[in-house]
Chain A
Amino acid sequence: MLLLAACGGESDGEAGVTRAPILPQPVEFVADAEGRPPPEALAETQVIHRGNGEEPQTLDPHLAEGVPSSTILRDLFEGLTTTAPDGRVIPGTAEHWDISRDGRVYTFYLDPQARWSNGEPLTAEDFVWSWRRVVDPATGASYSRMLAPVENAEAILAGELEPDALGVSALSETTFQVTLASPTPYFLGLLTHPTTFPVHRPALEAHGSAHVRPGHLVSNGAYMLVDWQVRSRIELARNPHYRQADQVLIERVFYYPFEDENTELNRFRAGDLHWTYQVPNSQFGWLEENMAEALMVAPWFGNYFFTYNLQRPPFQDNLALRQALSLAVDREILTERVTRFGEIPTFQLVPPGLPDYEPVVPEVAEWTQAEREAEARRLYAEAGYSEDEPLEVELRYNSSENHRRLAVAVSAMWKQVLGVRTRLINEEFRVFLQNRAQRRVTEVFRAGWIGDYQDAFTFLELFHSEHGRNDAGYANPTYDRLLEQVSAERIPALRRNLMREAERMLLADQVILPVYIYVSKRLVDPRLQGWQENVMDQHLTRHMYLLRERTDEVVEPVVESGSEAGSP
C-alpha cells in the first residue's frame, strides 16, 4: 500500500502564486485487493451529505414510492439480495440460495450474522410476515405488484385469497422459501427493491404508522435512523449490528430534500453537499466548463417517449400516421439543443445496458434524417393528410419547463416536415395522469418510464392490454400472449428471444414515439469514492468512503540568495 505524495494546487502559471482549486481534491492512493483505500488515505470524519430530491413520502419500505425514498431505504434496510457498486445483483441478507429445476422454488439461506438494528436476529419468519403484509390489500402498498410473481400473490391482491396463502414459508430460523407462480428470471433482481425488504413486526405493532419515526424504526441495513426533520434532513448512523458492519466506512449520512435544483447546486458550490440528486438543465454548459471533475452524467434505465391514444381518432387504426409523426422527429436535435445533457436519442423502447438483453433497434435508426423525413411525407399522404388538409392534433404534457420545451420542438418539427397543426396542452400532473388513464380526451401525450428492476420486462409489461399504466390502450392479443410466454419461459435464451419479439411488435405497431434514453446527472465531491456509475442509478452509502483532502503546500515566492524575504 502506497500513499502518494500530495501535489500542489492549481497554479495559474505565475511563479509563486497558487490558487485554491474549485473543489477539494482527494489524495491519491493505491487500493488494496478489495478496492479499498489504505486507512491513512481516508478522511478523519466519515460523514457525508447527500442531496436527495423531494421529501420522502414515508420510510416504510412497503408503502414507499419514488427514487428519493428508495435511496434512503436501501441504506436503512437490506433485502435478500442487494446491489454492488456497479449495479450487479449480489447476495444481501441471504448468503446464498437454491433454485429448483423448474425455476419456481427459491430457497434462501439467510446470513446467520443478519441482525436488526436493535440486535435481535433476523429470521425467515420476518420475511414471511413482511411479504404477506405487502400483498395484503389492507396495507395499501403501492408497489405490491413487485411480489406478483409469487404464487397466489395476484389472487391475494385482488382480494380473492387471504395473505396467508402467499407462496412463502420459513423452513427454519434462517431458511426462507418462495414458490413462484411461474419461473421469473428477474426475480433475484426484484429483491433489491424496498417493497421486498423485511419490516420489524414488534416495532410496527407497538407504534403503528409511527414505527418509522426516529427512536422507533428498527431496520436491518447498514444504517439506522437517528433523526428526521421533515423537509429539512434525515440523519442515519452506521448500524453496529449490521452483518458486515466492519466493512462500512461512512459513519453518518445526511439526506437533504430539495424542491429546487438551483438551490441544491448552490449548496454544493458552497461545500455543504458531497452528492447532488440532480443538476439544473439550464446550467449544463457552465457545469461542464467549471465543475467537470464533479459532474457525473451516465445512462439511466429509463425512456422518454410520447404515446398515441390508440382508442380514439385520429390514431386509432392509423399506423401510417403514427409512423409519419415518429419519423418526422429529429431526435438528435432534441437531445443536442433542447435537453442538452447527453441524453441518448433513441428509436427503441428498452434502454441499453442490461447484461443479457440486446434491445431491438428498428431499421429507421440507421437512416439519415433526410431519408426519414422523405418517408414521413409519403406516409403522411398515405394516411390521408396533405398541406391543404393537415392533421390537427393535441399534444399533452404535464407542467414542467423541460416537457414544454420538448413539446414545442416536436410540434415545430411536425409543422416543418409535414405541416401538422399541433395544439399544446399543458396540464397539472394529477390532472394529466387522470386524463391519460381515462383515454377520453388524449391524442398524443408525453410519457416516460424508469425501469423498476433490471429486466426488459419492466418496460414491455406496460403495454399488456390489462396493465394499469397502458394509457395508450394498446390491445393486441398476440402481444399479450407473447408476454405470457415470456413469464412462463425459464430458458434465458428463449425468454430473451420472446422479449425481443414483443419489443419488435410494439415498435412495429408504433404504440410509442421514443425520444431519448434518460441519463442520471449529478455533482459528486471528488473526495467521495467507492461508488460507480450504473444503469439502475443505485448507489448505496455502505460502499462509499471519503478520502482525505490534498493538503496543498503553498509555494513560497522564490527568494534570491543574499536578499531577505519581504525586502524590496
Chain B
Amino acid sequence: MLGYSLKRLASAIPTLFFLITVAFFLIRIAPGGPFDSERALPAEIEANLAAKYHLDEPLVVQYARYLWQIARFDLGPSFHYLDWTINDLIAQGAPVSFTLGLLALILALLIGVPIGAWAALRQNRPTDYAVMSTAMIGISVPNFVMAPLLILLFAITLGWLPAGGWAFEPSRMVLPVITLALPMIAYIARITRGSMIEVLHSSFIRTARAKGMPERDVLIHHALKPALLPVISYLGPAAAAILTGSVVVERIFTIPGIGSYFVQGALNRDYTLVMGVVILYGVLIIAFNFLVDLLYAWLDPRIRYDEGSA
C-alpha cells in the first residue's frame, strides 16, 4: 500500500507539470494584456509595468521564472488585485470554498445514501418513484435557478435566513450549502439505489438471508458496504466538481471563495491568478482521486494495490 501510494504521488508530478505548462502558454496567447483598460496608459508607464511584472521578457524566460517561483511555493503577485499576492488571495478564499464544498458533500452523503437505500428497498413502489422523481428534479434544476428561488422564499419572503454574504456562522451557510448539495444529493441517491438493488440480488445476500440472519444485519453489514463502492468512486469527481462548480453559488450568495477567481482572472488577464487556481485545482483533483482509491481499497477487500497482489 505504501509503495503504491508513493508511486501515485510521484506520478502526480509530471501530470501537474503538464497542466502548468499548457495553462501557462494558453493564457498568455489570449489577446489583450492585464494592464489594458478604458484609459490609455502613457507609453513609459506601460513599459515600466511590463518590466515590473517581467512581461517584457521572452515567453520562455517568463515560463522558467514562473516554474522556479512555484517551486518555492510562491504563486506571484496578482496583476489585477494590486495589493495582494496570489498566495494571499488563495489563503483567504480557499478555506471558504472548502468549508462550503465539504459541508455540501457531507450533507449530500447524509441525505443521498439513506434515501437511495430506502428507495432500493421499496423498488418499483410509490416511495421509490417519488424519491427518484424528486432526484430527477434536483439534477435538472440548475444552481442559478435554485439559488434565487431559495433566496426569494427564505430570505426575502420569510426573512428566516440571510440573502447572502459570508461568515463562518450557520445561518449564512444554510442556503448556499443546500443549493450546492441538492444536485449531488440526487446523484448520490440514484447511484446508491442502483447499486443497492444490484447487491440485494447477489448470491451472498441470498445466502445470508437463507442462514437466517436478521434483515437489518443483512442490509447494514452485508449490503450497504459493497453498495457504497460506486458512491465512493463518484466522490472524487464530485468533490472536484463541487469546488470548481461553486462559481455560480458563490456569485449569487456573494461568497468570497475561489470559485469565480478562475473566470475573473481569465477575463482580467490576471495570469498569475489563473495559474494559481489551475494549480490548486490540479492538486486537489489528484489528491481526491488518490484518497478515493485508498478508500475503495479499504472498503473492498478484493482490491489490493500492493505489488504481487491481485
Q: Do the two chains bind?
A: yes
Listed in ascending order, the chain A residues whose CB lies under 8 Å from chain B are 55, 57-60, 63, 65, 137-145, 157-159, 209-210, 212-213, 229-233, 256-260, 262-263, 266-267, 269-270, 272, 428-431, 433-434, 437, 467-469
Beta-carbon nearest neighbor of B43 in chain A? A158
Could you list 5 A-B pairs, sorted by A, with CB under 8 Å?
Answer: A142-B37, A157-B44, A209-B82, A263-B251, A263-B252
Q: Given A229-B92, A267-B254, A428-B267 in contact, is the A141-B39 Cβ separation under 8 Å?
A: no
Please tell me which one of the listed residues B41, B83, B159, B256 contacts residue A142 in the complex, with CB atoms under 8 A apart: B41
In angstroms, Cα B35 to Cα A65, docked, is 11
Contact B254–A159 (Cβ < 8 Å)? no
B32 touches A433 (CB 8 A): yes
A213 CA to B163 CA, complexed, in Å? 28
A63 to B36, CA, bound (A): 14
Q: A58 touching B81 by the CB < 8 A rule?
A: yes
Knowing A58-B82, A140-B52, A433-B36 are in contact, say whether A232-B165 is a contact too (CB < 8 A).
Answer: yes
Of B35, B38, B41, B83, which is in contact with the most chain A CB atoms at under 10 Å from its CB?
B83
A157 touches B45 (CB 8 A): yes
A137 touches B254 (CB 8 A): no
Given contacts A142-B41, A263-B164, contact A230 B84 (CB under 8 A): yes
- Least Cβ–Cβ distance between B143 and chain A, in angstroms: 13
Chain B contacts for A65, CB-based, 8 A: 37, 39
CA distance A60 to B155 in the complex (A): 36
Please determine whether B45 and A141 come into contact, CB atoms closer than 8 angstroms.
Answer: yes
Q: A63 — nearest CB in chain B belongs to which residue? A: B82
Contact in complex: A60, B82 (CB < 8 Å): yes
- Let me know if A468 and B41 touch, CB within 8 A: yes
Q: A residues within 8 A CB of B30?
A: 430-431
B192 at the interface (CB under 8 A from A): no
CB distance from B121 to the nearest CB of A (A): 41
Give 1 or 0 for each of B112-154: 1 = CB within 8 Å of chain A CB: 0000000000000000000000000000000000001001100
Interface size range on B against A? 35 or more
Measured in the bound complex, the distance between the Cα atoms of B36 and A331 in whole Å is: 31
Residues of B within 8 A of A266 (CB): 148, 151-152, 155-156, 163-164
B60 at the interface (CB under 8 A from A): no
A-B contact count (CB 8 A): 138
* Contact yes or no, B45 A137, CB < 8 A: yes
Partner of A158, one of B42, B49, B81: B42
Q: Name the distance in Å between A166's Cβ and chain B's nearest Cβ.
A: 15
Is the Cβ of B49 less than 8 Å from the Cβ of A140?
A: yes
Q: Across the interface, name the chain A residue whose C-beta is closest to B260.
A: A259
Which of B41, B92, B93, B148 counts the most A-chain CB atoms under 10 A from its CB?
Answer: B41
Report the separation of the CA atoms of residues A259 and B32 in the bound assembly, to the nearest whole angstrom.
22
Whether B165 lies near A58 (C-beta < 8 A) is no
Q: What is B's interface to A at a CB cutoff of 8 Å?
A: 30-33, 35-45, 47-49, 52, 77, 80-84, 88-89, 92-93, 148, 151-152, 155-156, 159, 162-166, 251-256, 260, 264, 267-269
Would B163 and A270 count as touching, CB distance under 8 A? yes
Measured between beta carbons, the chain A residues less than 8 angstroms from B156 are 266, 269-270
Query: Would you give the shortest CB distance from A307 to chain B, in whole angstroms?
Result: 13
* Nearest B residue to A54, CB-CB: B264
Output the least CB separation between B248 and chain A (Å). Answer: 10
> A142 CA to B41 CA in the complex, in Å?
6
B42: chain A residues at CB < 8 Å are 137, 144-145, 157-158, 468
The 10 closest A-B pairs by CB, nearest first: A468-B40, A430-B32, A270-B163, A232-B256, A231-B256, A58-B82, A137-B44, A159-B44, A140-B49, A270-B155
Enumerate chain A residues within 8 angstroms of B83, measured Cβ to Cβ: 58-60, 209-210, 212-213
Interface centre among B33, B89, B155, B164 (most CB of A within 10 A): B164
A260 touches B252 (CB 8 A): yes
Residues of A within 8 A of B38 (CB): 433, 469
What B residues does A231 contact at CB under 8 A?
Answer: 93, 256, 260
Q: Which residues of A contact B52 (CB under 8 A)?
A: 140
With a cutoff of 8 Å between Cβ atoms, the chain A residues found around residue B163 in the complex are 266-267, 269-270, 272
Chain B residues contacting A139 (CB-CB under 8 Å) are: 45
* Contact between A57 and B164, CB atoms less than 8 A apart: no
Q: Is the CB of A267 within 8 A of B165?
A: yes
* Of listed A57, A209, A231, residue having the most chain B CB within 10 A: A231
Instruction: List residues of chain B with CB within 8 A of the CB of A158.
Output: 42-44
Contact of B254 among A141, A263, A434 (CB under 8 A): A263
Q: Which of A59, A256, A428 has a CB less than 8 Å from the CB of B165?
A: A256
| A514–B81 alpha-carbon span in the complex (Å) | 34
Contact A469 B251 (CB under 8 A): no
Cβ-neighbour of B81 out of A57, A142, A430 (below 8 A) = A57
Known pairs A58-B83, A137-B44; list 11 more (Cβ under 8 Å). Answer: A140-B45, A158-B43, A230-B84, A256-B254, A257-B254, A263-B253, A266-B148, A266-B155, A267-B254, A434-B31, A469-B39
Contact residues in B for A430 (Cβ distance below 8 Å):
30-33, 36, 267-269
Docked-complex contact A433 and B92, CB < 8 angstroms: no
Neighbouring B residues of A58 by C-beta, 8 Å: 81-83
Residues of A within 8 A of B269 (CB): 430
* Residues of the B chain whose Cβ atoms lie less than 8 Å from the Cβ of A468: 39-42
- Report chain A residues within 8 Å CB of B80: 57
Q: How far is the CA of A60 from the CA of B89 in the complex (A)?
A: 18
A429 touches B84 (CB 8 A): no
Q: Report the Cα distance A437→B38, complex, angstroms.
A: 10
Give the shortest distance, in Å, between A469 (CB) and chain B (any CB): 5
Q: Are B40 and A429 in contact (CB under 8 A)?
A: no
Q: Please give, as numbers and ranges, the residues of chain A lying within 8 Å of B47 by CB-CB distance.
A: 137
- List of B residues within 8 angstroms of A209 by Cβ: 77, 82-83
CB pair B89 A230 closer than 8 Å:
yes
How near does chain B come to A137, taking the closest CB pair, in angstroms? 4
Nearest opposing residue in chain B for A209, CB measure = B83
The chain A residue with its CB closest to the CB of B166 is A232
**A138 and B164 contact, CB distance less than 8 A:** no
Q: Which residues of B contact A138 (CB under 8 A)?
A: 48
Contacts of B164 in A (CB 8 A): 263, 266-267, 270, 272
**Once the chains are docked, how many angstroms separate the CA of A137 from the CA of B42?**
9
**What is the CA–CA distance of A419 and B89 in the complex, to the nearest angstrom?**
52
For B263, give the chain A residue with the smallest CB separation.
A259
Asked whether B81 lies within 8 Å of A55 as measured between CB atoms, the reply is yes
Chain A's closest residue to B77 (CB) is A209
Which residues in B have their C-beta under 8 angstroms from that of A434? 31-32, 36
User: Is the beta-carbon distance between A232 and B254 smaller than 8 angstroms?
Assistant: yes
Q: Name the distance in Å between A136's Cβ and chain B's nearest Cβ.
A: 9
B251 touches A259 (CB 8 A): yes
Instruction: Report Cα–Cα, A210/B32, bound state, in Å.
Output: 27
